[in-house]
Structure 1
């Protein structure tokens, strides 16, 4: 039982699992592009960069940098990044449906693009939240002095 819990809590195993899921998402998007159309690859790239506005606004509004936003109103910047990210994810889901309705994509390509894109975005989001843990969230290893 101890080896099972160490297998699940090992960070390297989590990273390897997320990498496998990310590669499956890109594989589905590329398979959707086999039908003679390159739009699914662009939609896959939209999903891949969809979390980037949130990461940029978190980095800009953190206390590590000396950017002076007047009055310290960082909520506007953070919410703008969240809005842009939500816009990109929504566009990534709706664009294959619109292209299918316009007879540019087949139904199979539409489904593969949406599933693959959701896998890509979910993996990027999980990677960023995994590496964005603050030092307070990390458990004590028990080796410190009281």
Structure 2
């Protein structure tokens, strides 16, 4: 086995790499706040929690899988909860991207602080999203394995 292949496939190395990228994102956001303004830190927090509604509604959606209700009208309520979480997450993400631009046009943030905040926030959100997808266990228990029985 090649040493570079084992380095890339080791999950601990992936977690350490994502942690380094996350710390770089927070560093950029804090550096943007050096100019005497605390708004980039608030925007960094918005980017950090932007994926949280999706995670929460996904947990609610998955916990309601075993209610044995086969009525399509009742199953749409779980889709509404899931879609609301996606909407709220998208709202936070778009707010995180456009709030530095609005603050820059209002002459509250400098151009450098705006760019550092957007890049740092993108790194933060990308890392949080990758962490959550890395630890997301998608088990397809609903699928019946093919036993090779042929046609009945």
TM-score, normalised to structure 1's length?
Answer: 0.87
RMSD: 2.0
Q: Structure 1: which 5+ residue stretches go unaligned?
A: 137-146
Report the counterpart of residue 38 of structure 1 in structure 2: 38
- Larger gyration radius, structure 1 or structure 2: 2
1:75, distance to aligned residue in structure 2 (A): 1.3
1:91 to 76, 82, 95: 95
Q: Aligned residues, how many?
A: 136
Distance 2:3 2:19 in 1: 22
Give the secondary structure class of the aligned counterpart of 2:37. Answer: coil
Residue pair 1:53, 1:84 contacting (<8 A) in 2 also: yes
2:85 to 69, 81, 84: 81
1:124 to 128, 139, 142: 128
CA distance 1:7–1:64, shift in 2 (3 Å): farther
TM-score, normalised to structure 2's length?
Answer: 0.84
1:68, distance to aligned residue in structure 2 (A): 9.8
Give the secondary structure class of the aligned counterpart of 2:63. Answer: coil
